[in-house]
């Protein structure tokens, strides 16, 4: 039988979030590292929010990057340094506390081993890995123990999880390598191609957040400054929502296609549950303006965009910290 765990941790491709039992939602910082070359190799000069502040504002030798991509730990040592930094902020007691760690529903056995190794190395006494989609459902107020099926789509920073859940089990699940980071890169490429302007990924992310919209005639716009491709000098330009629409529509089209493929492969009884309950959309990208309108026109199933979708998973994990019986049931079925 599992004991009560103190920490819930979600290491996303864009943000790392930590919930502490009896204390609440304790940390949300970018999953970013900044490093520069030295005679001893690359040296860390910034972590989390401090690293994000350096994006586009340092010399060419400094790299700002996420050591986690598509739900995978791409650089173990940098991820370890980042997690230690975050835990130190929370006065973490090494070798005493335990953690629930949120992972993709499509995680491989190798990636599971890597994540467990990381958690034990930073000092956790016990660790249990739980698919994020369960926590998303719990955070959205759904009963995952019911025989009634829930379908959830979590569009995060690095990837998208699509899962069909009932009786504390994932009936069918998939992880797509599509997330907000991919959109940021696509926006930067689009602006470079159409307007001859090179933007940093930080600026692209701001554009996405401030003027990104799926409304076909949205009038939102924003002035940005980048580097002119031909003259190599700084230049400002006003970017409109329509400039981003050709990036956002294909992104969501691909996700909708994947949802359709998943649903059409299910038995009729489960499909009926999904139609009755609606498909839940959560994650940072679910906040894009006009998503509801887009889904009404392009998605053939009932749906609900969950309020505070970017935090629903970690908040659901926080609830799970207090429900040992439910945590045990999910753990046994994972």
The pLDDT tens digits of the residues spanning 186-239 come to: 999 999 999 999 998 889 999 999 999 999 989 999 999 999 999 999 999 999
Count, in order, helices (H) and strands (E) of the chain.
11, 18
pTM over 0.95: no
| Residue with the two structure tokens 């569009």 | 155
Instruction: Report the pLDDT averaged over residues 95-101.
Output: 92
pLDDT at residue number 40: 75
Report the alpha-carbon distance of residue 19 to residue 28 in Å, rounded: 9
Backbone angles phi, psi at 61, to 5 degrees: -80, -20
Closest CA to 274 of 296, 303, 316: 303
Per-residue tokens: 239 = 């970017």
How distant is the alpha carbon of residue 202 from its chain centre?
16
Give residue-wise pLDDT tens across range 32-45: 999 988 777 788 99
Secondary structure E strands in the chain: 7-11, 15-20, 24-30, 33-38, 41-47, 63-65, 68-69, 72-73, 98-103, 126-131, 150-155, 160-166, 169-176, 197-198, 221-228, 234-240, 279-282, 303-305
Please give the structure tokens belonging to residue 159.
């990837």
Q: How confident is the model at residue 306 (pLDDT cuts 50, 70, 90)?
A: very high
Q: Token pair 């765990």 is at which residue?
A: 5
3-class secondary structure, 300: coil
| Rounded Cα–Cα distance for residues 184 and 73 (Å) | 20
Rg (CA), the chain: 21
Q: Which residues contact 37 (CB under 8 A, 6 or more apart)?
A: 43, 61
pLDDT band (50, 70, 90) for residue 282: very high
pLDDT band for position 93 (cuts 50, 70, 90): confident
Query: By the 8 A CB rule, do 3 and 98 touch?
Result: yes
Nearest to 303 by CA among 315, 311, 294: 294
Give the pLDDT confidence score for residue 80 in this predicted structure. 97
Q: What pLDDT shows up at residue 22?
A: 93
Question: 153-174, pLDDT tens digit by residue?
Answer: 999 988 999 999 999 999 999 9
Question: 209 vs 213, 228, 255, CA distance in Å?
Answer: 9, 23, 19
Average pLDDT, the chain: 93
Please give the full DSSP string across 96-118, using - where no structure is assigned: T-EEEEEE-TT--HHHHHHHHHH
Ordered structural domains, the chain, with CATH: 7-30+69-137+312-333 (3.30.420.40), 32-65 (no CATH), 145-178+247-305 (3.30.420.40), 180-241 (3.90.640.10)
| Helix orientation angle between 201-211 and 241-264, rounded to the nearest 10 degrees | 80
* Residues 333, 14: Cα–Cα separation, whole Å: 28
Tell me: pLDDT of 293 over 80. Answer: yes
Q: In the structure, what pLDDT confidence band is assigned to residue 1 with cuts at 50, 70 and 90? A: low
pLDDT class of 285 with cuts at 50, 70, 90: very high
Please give the Cα distance from 84 to 25 (Å, whole number): 18
């Amino acid at each position: 039988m599992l004991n009560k765990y103190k920490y819930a941790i979600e290491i996303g491709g864009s943000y790392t979030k930590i919930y502490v039992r009896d204390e609440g939602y304790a940390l949300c910082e970018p999953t970013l590292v900044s490093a520069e070359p030295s005679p001893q190799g690359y040296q860390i000069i910034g972590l989390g929010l401090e690293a994000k502040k350096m994006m586009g504002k340092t010399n060419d030798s400094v790299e700002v990057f996420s050591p986690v991509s598509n739900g995978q730990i791409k650089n173990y040592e940098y991820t370890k340094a980042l997690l230690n930094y975050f835990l130190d902020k929370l006065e973490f007691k090494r070798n005493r506390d335990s953690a629930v760690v949120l992972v993709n529903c499509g995680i491989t056995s190798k990636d599971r081993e890597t994540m467990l190794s990381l958690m034990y190395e930073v000092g956790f006494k016990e660790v249990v890995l739980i698919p994020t989609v369960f926590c998303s459902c719990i955070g959205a107020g759904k009963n995952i123990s019911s025989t009634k099926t829930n379908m959830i789509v979590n569009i995060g920073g690095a990837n998208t999880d699509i899962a069909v859940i009932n009786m504390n089990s994932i009936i069918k699940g998939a992880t797509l390598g599509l997330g907000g980071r991919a959109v940021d890169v696509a926006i930067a490429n689009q602006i470079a191609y159409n307007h001859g302007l090179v933007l940093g990924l930080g600026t692209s992310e701001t554009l996405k957040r401030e003027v990104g919209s799926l409304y076909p005639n949205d009038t939102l716009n924003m002035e940005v400054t980048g580097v002119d491709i031909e003259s190599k000098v700084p230049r400002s330009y006003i970017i409109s929502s329509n400039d981003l629409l050709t990036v956002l529509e294909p992104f969501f089209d691909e996700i909708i296609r994947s949802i359709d493929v998943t649903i059409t492969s299910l038995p009729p009884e489960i499909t009926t549950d999904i139609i009755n309950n609606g498909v839940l959309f959560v994650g940072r990208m679910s906040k894009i303006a006009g998503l509801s309108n887009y889904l009404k026109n392009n998605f053939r199933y009932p749906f609900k965009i969950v309020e505070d979708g970017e935090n629903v998973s970690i908040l659901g994990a926080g609830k799970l910290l207090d429900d040992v019986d439910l945590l045990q049931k999910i753990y046994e079925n994972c």
